[in-house]
């Protein structure tokens, strides 16, 4: 096969076939792809231009991100996809990682029952069974229209010939040099003694060879073949617990989407083991139940309302949500209008509700994370919202010797111990305890909206616990505040997650007067450099598409 012409259609083509204004994203007539990295967007765009559908493009983008955006793009992690076909049918694909067969409820606790620091986040013991390759294979089997090898070729070519680092990617690699040294017993390609700089090129030779095997042998290589052997050998050398049996037994799952209404819109999102769909629908229904829908954007009343709704949704998340294959998640009850109204019975327009009066718990820290999301709509109207992750930046920081990719640290997304926070400050209970072959609870919230039965929005974001609230606010920004898709993505965001009991906010999210008014209500604050990196697509009234790439990252929208 001839090398795929990765850069045959780049940003210049985007400008030729689409236009952009200061208040709008990229506007295109037929198709759009929005991802976290320019190379991945160019690859997805090329697949669409050559006649591939949205699902072909998603597969090519996923593998490209594993090369160009290794802090979150992956073949060693997992994720979720929400799908809506051109004829209005919707489904979801769960390729979330699973706990190994040898996993146990107390595996991260010492003899006194206390969590052992970093054991669930750094190194081989933190790794769960990856689902990405199986997920992409199953997506292709059901919806693919271009041969599998052609969809892997762009990522293979990129790995073989090298990725040019952006300034943000160079900085991120430099930030984790010490962790790379700590987690690996061999030299890895992302280590560099004098640090990385923007414009440097990384050639991923081992990863290229892995992608070539996956290209030629399909899913079998990753879960039973040479790549599987590399993973197992990596585990055996370093006291990891993933076995060949774990890999062979892994399956992705097609699941019925969660759907609900907000005003005239139908919201289609992920069911458990994602908490995103339930929490998002609770929040949207909560706004209508509270009867406060006209508050000015990021005014004291608006931020107070969001915070009160969010603290209640996240308290429910910690108490009731987990893998529904293992635990009877009360989905219908949590989304019952009577329950949502009852949950808001103590909602006070003038004062904050102390989180410890809702449910008990203790959280002291929320760390930065990296997930990645992309949104795609093709020329026929097929759409996919896909969110994928390694959990923390570069996951467990372990790169598989001989295979050249990072493994996840998703085991930390379980409740290591009920009431004890994970790396994102989220607490959990019995529903999310560690069990063999169980999928850990996630905040990923890939979502599609319909208006009057037609495709309206494709949206999602990285951000750990802030994923849910970022998607929530982005939807409100368009539906309630009349923003363009780009304005909605750019808008400053706030976040509350029950515990810690404070409002997280971006710089300049609101005025000093607004902060003073909220403090008078009893709210406290913590500033975060950014919250979420939303990549979204909006169908405009005339049928054209607006692709909005988040300026908080290197994200790019491309359409034609």
Q: What is the CA radius of gyration of the chain?
A: 22
Q: Are 447 and 455 in contact (CB under 8 A)?
A: no
C-beta pairs of 87-92 under 8 Å, 24+ apart in sequence: 88/450, 88/453, 90/257, 90/259, 90/268, 90/448, 91/254, 91/255, 91/256, 91/257, 92/254, 92/255, 92/256, 92/257, 92/270, 92/271
3-state DSSP: the chain helix, strand, coil percent, rounded to 5?
35, 15, 45
Give kind and range of the element (H or E) at residue 267.
strand 265-269
Q: Which of 371, 387, 389, 445 is catalytic?
A: 371
| Residue 371 bears catalytic tag | yes
The residue whose two tokens read 């095997």 is 213
**CB atoms < 10 A from the CB of 2, how many?**
6
Residue 399's closest CA among 191, 216, 133? 191
Instruction: Give the burial class of 402: count Cβ atoms within 10 A of its Cβ; 0-12 exposed, 13-18 middle, 19 or more buried.
Output: middle
What is the rounded CA–CA span in Å between residue 147 and residue 318? 42
Give me the DSSP letters along 439-469: BPPB----EEEEETTEEEEEE----TTHHHH
Q: Are 85 and 443 in contact (CB under 8 A)?
A: no
Q: Are 393 and 462 in contact (CB under 8 A)?
A: no
What is the rounded CA–CA span in Å between residue 234 and residue 241? 10
**CB atoms < 10 A from the CB of 501, how many?**
21
Q: Which residues are part of the catalytic machinery?
A: 371
């Amino acid at each position: 096969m001839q090398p795929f012409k990765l850069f045959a259609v780049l940003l210049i083509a985007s400008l030729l076939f689409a236009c952009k204004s200061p208040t709008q994203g990229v506007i295109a007539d037929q198709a759009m792809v929005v991802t976290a990295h320019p190379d991945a967007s160019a690859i997805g765009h090329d697949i669409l231009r050559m006649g591939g559908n949205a699902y072909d493009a998603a597969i090519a983008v996923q593998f490209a991100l594993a090369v160009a955006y290794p802090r979150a793009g992956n073949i060693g992690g997992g994720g979720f996809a929400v799908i809506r076909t051109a004829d209005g049918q919707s489904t979801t694909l769960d390729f979330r990682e699973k706990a190994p067969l040898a996993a146990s409820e107390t595996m991260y606790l010492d003899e006194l029952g206390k969590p052992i620091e970093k054991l669930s986040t750094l190194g081989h013991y933190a790794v769960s069974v990856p689902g990405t390759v199986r997920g992409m294979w199953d997506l292709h089997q059901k919806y693919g229209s271009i041969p599998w090898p052609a969809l892997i070729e762009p990522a293979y070519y990129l790995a073989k010939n090298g990725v040019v680092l952006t300034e943000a990617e160079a900085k991120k690699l430099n930030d984790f040099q010490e962790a790379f040294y700590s987690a690996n017993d061999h030299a890895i390609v992302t280590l560099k003694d004098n640090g990385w700089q923007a414009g440097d090129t990384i050639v991923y030779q081992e990863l290229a060879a892995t992608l070539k095997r996956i290209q030629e042998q399909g899913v079998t290589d990753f879960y039973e073949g040479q790549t599987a052997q590399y993973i197992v050998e990596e585990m055996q050398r370093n006291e990891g617990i993933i076995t060949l049996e774990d890999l062979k037994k892994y399956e992705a799952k097609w699941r019925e989407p969660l759907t609900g209404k907000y005003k005239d819109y139908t919201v289609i999102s992920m069911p458990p083991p994602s908490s995103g769909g339930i929490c998002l629908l609770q929040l949207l229904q909560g706004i209508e139940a509270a009867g406060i829908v006209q508050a000015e954007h990021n005014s004291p009343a608006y931020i107070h309302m969001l915070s009160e709704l969010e603290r209640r949704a996240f308290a429910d998340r910690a108490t009731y949500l987990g893998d529904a294959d293992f635990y009877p998640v009360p989905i219908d009850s949590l989304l019952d209008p009577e329950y949502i109204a009852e949950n808001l019975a103590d909602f006070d327009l003038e004062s904050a509700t102390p989180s410890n009066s809702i449910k008990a718990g203790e959280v002291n820290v929320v760390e930065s994370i990296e997930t990645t999301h992309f949104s795609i709509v093709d020329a026929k109207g097929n759409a996919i919202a896909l969110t994928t992750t390694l959990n923390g930046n570069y996951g467990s920081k372990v790169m598989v010797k001989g295979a050249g990719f990072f493994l996840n640290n998703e085991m930390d997304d379980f409740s290591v111990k009920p009431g004890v926070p994970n790396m994102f400050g989220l607490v959990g209970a019995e529903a999310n305890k560690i069990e063999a072959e169980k999928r850990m609870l996630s905040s990923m919230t890939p979502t599609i909206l319909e208006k009057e039965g037609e495709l309206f929005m494709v949206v999602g974001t990285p951000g750990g616990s802030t994923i849910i609230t970022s998607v929530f606010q982005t939807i409100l920004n368009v539906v309630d505040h009349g923003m363009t898709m780009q304005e909605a993505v750019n808008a400053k965001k706030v976040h509350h997650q029950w515990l810690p009991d404070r409002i997280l906010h971006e710089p300049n999210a609101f005025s000093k007067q607004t902060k003073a008014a909220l403090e008078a209500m009893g709210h406290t604050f913590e500033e975060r450099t950014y919250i979420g990196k939303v990549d979204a697509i909006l169908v405009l009234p005339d049928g054209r598409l607006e692709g909005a790439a988040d300026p908080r990252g290197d994200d790019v929208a491309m359409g034609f």
